[in-house]
């Protein structure tokens, strides 16, 4: 039975890469994304080879078992061509590609997956990641060593553990079958989308209910707005034909859309291996997984890096605290060379420090109570003291106090004293007439002396 639905495919080089090594395919029954790697040359060749092998599966299969077997056979055949390409053109050594593909068989989706491209299912207003990334960081997540959020920014997030490559002639795809329902929307994408646009924003775009083509454009714009450091390829599939295709012609995008007739141009420049420290012989069976000791070495290296980061942060924190403490000590010592004269309740006091607080901590303390009462100062001096008087030094503060003391004495000296008590002055008395005076003279009231 031919699949009833609609689909759209789009691919973009991104804002950093110089060429597009992704490939995408949207046909009648087959939908796929391949993210190539292997330098400027090998990646586009690898993804093109993968799509050319997969497009032969764009047909109506009689059963899901047949579709699974054909999908695995196509992956193995593509791996063989990658091996031959690397042998014939040694400069392509290390080329490889991810593959995430869906074959629609009646009301089921046959899924084959290897690498870190992804397949999502949008159903009942929920977005679910269907495939698991075959990456080093995903293993760390699965083992509980890091969180999914930490994996998004891990320095080894791009290290792939399984992929179609010239190092593995028997690739192991994750294969499974899922039922489909009318209204389902499937999203296949390279990590150029999933590595930049998180699931919350993908879900928001899905909820708009736009046709596959417009939804793909929306998601691509988000990836470009996020910097698009890698190629971006998106294939969207709607189950049920809600938005029917305008043409039954398959849509091929990315590197596979421009075949030159020669898959491996001889002028390709030499490129280096992309993952494994030591390449395996092409005819040796492998799933392209680094040896256990290599994994442990990577893990231990990450631990060492984490320890170095922690030590660096601790050292920086210690230096910061010491610098802050040193600055605080210097600042405090400086405050202890400052003095001012102010009021403490009803007295004039010399303070040591500055008139500021740091939170609950005062930067000044009482040094000496002068014994001068504010009430005894002239009004203008009392107001000045209440506002505080800054002194250049302790001796200057003492001089200020002496001037205040003089003002106090002046005020106190102007206070009127009580009036003195005087005794009455006795009036002079006359000697009675006829009485002889001892001196032989007499003084009258008019002061006349009579002799």
40-75 per-position pLDDT tens digit: 568 999 999 999 999 999 999 999 999 999 999 999
What band does 3 get if pLDDT is binned at 50, 70 and 90? Answer: confident
CATH of 5-259+282-289, one of 3.40.50.20, 3.40.50.2000, 1.10.110.30, 3.60.40.10: 3.60.40.10
What band does 225 get if pLDDT is binned at 50, 70 and 90? Answer: very high
CA atoms of 433 and 437, how far apart (whole Å): 10
**Where is pLDDT greater, at 360 or 28?**
28
Beta bridge partners of 126: 123
Mention every residue, 6+ apart, whose C-beta is less than 8 A from residue 442: 431, 449, 450, 451
> C-alpha angle with apex 69: 67 to 72, nearest 5 degrees?
105
204-219 per-position pLDDT tens digit: 999 999 999 999 999 9
How high is the mean pLDDT of the chain? 82
- The pLDDT score that the predictor gives to residue 246 is 44
- Residue ranges per domain, the chain? 5-259+282-289, 339-413
CA 37 to chain centre: 29
CA atoms of 221 and 223, how far apart (whole Å): 5
What band does 278 get if pLDDT is binned at 50, 70 and 90? Answer: very low
- Find, among 274, 232, 98, 123, the residue nearest to 173 by Cα: 98
**Where is pLDDT greater, at 443 or 400?**
400
- pLDDT greater than 70 at residue 284: no
Pull the structure tokens for residue 132: 């698991």
Q: Name the least confident of 112-116, 256-260, 374-378.
A: 256-260
Pull the structure tokens for residue 313: 């942060």
Single pTM value for the model: 0.61
Percent over 70 (pLDDT), the chain: 78
- The pLDDT score that the predictor gives to residue 382 is 85
DSSP 242: S
């Amino acid at each position: 039975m031919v699949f009833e639905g609609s689909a759209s495919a789009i691919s973009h080089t991104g804002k950093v890469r110089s060429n597009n090594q992704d490939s995408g395919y949207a046909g009648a029954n087959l939908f796929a994304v391949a993210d190539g790697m292997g330098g400027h040359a090998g990646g586009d060749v690898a993804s093109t080879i993968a799509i050319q092998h997969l497009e032969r599966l764009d047909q109506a299969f009689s059963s899901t078992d047949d579709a699974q077997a054909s999908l695995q056979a196509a992956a193995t055949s593509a791996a063989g061509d990658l091996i031959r390409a690397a042998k014939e053109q040694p400069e392509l050594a290390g080329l490889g590609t991810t593959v995430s593909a869906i074959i629609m068989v009646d009301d089921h989706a046959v899924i084959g997956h290897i690498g870190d491209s992804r397949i999502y299912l949008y159903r009942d207003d929920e977005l679910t990641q269907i495939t698991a990334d075959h990456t080093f960081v995903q293993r760390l997540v699965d083992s509980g060593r890091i969180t999914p959020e930490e994996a998004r920014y891990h320095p080894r997030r791009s290290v792939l553990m399984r992929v179609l490559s010239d190092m593995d002639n028997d690739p192991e795809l994750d294969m499974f079958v899922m039922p489909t329902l009318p209204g389902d929307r499937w999203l296949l994408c390279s990590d150029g989308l999933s590595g930049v646009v998180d699931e919350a924003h993908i879900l928001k775009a899905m909820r708009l209910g736009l046709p596959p083509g417009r939804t793909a454009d929306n998601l691509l714009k988000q990836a470009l707005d996020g910097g698009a450091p890698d190629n971006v390829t998106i294939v969207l599939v709607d189950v049920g034909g809600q938005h029917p295709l305008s043409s039954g012609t398959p849509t091929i995008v990315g590197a596979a859309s421009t075949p030159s007739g020669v898959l491996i141009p001889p002028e390709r420049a030499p490129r280096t291996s992309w993952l494994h420290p030591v390449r395996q012989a092409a005819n040796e069976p492998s799933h392209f997984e680094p040896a256990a000791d290599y994994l442990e070495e990577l893990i231990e290296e990450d631990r060492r890096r984490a320890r170095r980061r922690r030590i660096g942060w601790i050292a920086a924190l210690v230096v910061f605290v010491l610098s802050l403490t040193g600055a605080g000590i210097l600042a405090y010592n400086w405050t202890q060379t400052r003095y001012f004269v102010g009021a403490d309740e009803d007295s004039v006091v010399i303070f040591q420090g500055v008139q500021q607080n740091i939170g609950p901590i005062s930067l000044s303390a009482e040094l000496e109570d002068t014994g001068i009462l504010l009430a005894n100062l002239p009004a203008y001096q009392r107001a000045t003291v209440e506002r505080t008087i800054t002194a250049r030094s302790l001796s200057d503060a003492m001089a200020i106090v002496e001037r205040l003391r003089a003002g106090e004495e002046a005020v106190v000296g102007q206070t009127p004293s009580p009036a003195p008590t005087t005794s009455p002055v006795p009036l002079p008395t006359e000697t009675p007439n006829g009485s002889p005076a001892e001196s032989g003279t007499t003084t009258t009231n008019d002061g006349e002396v009579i002799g």
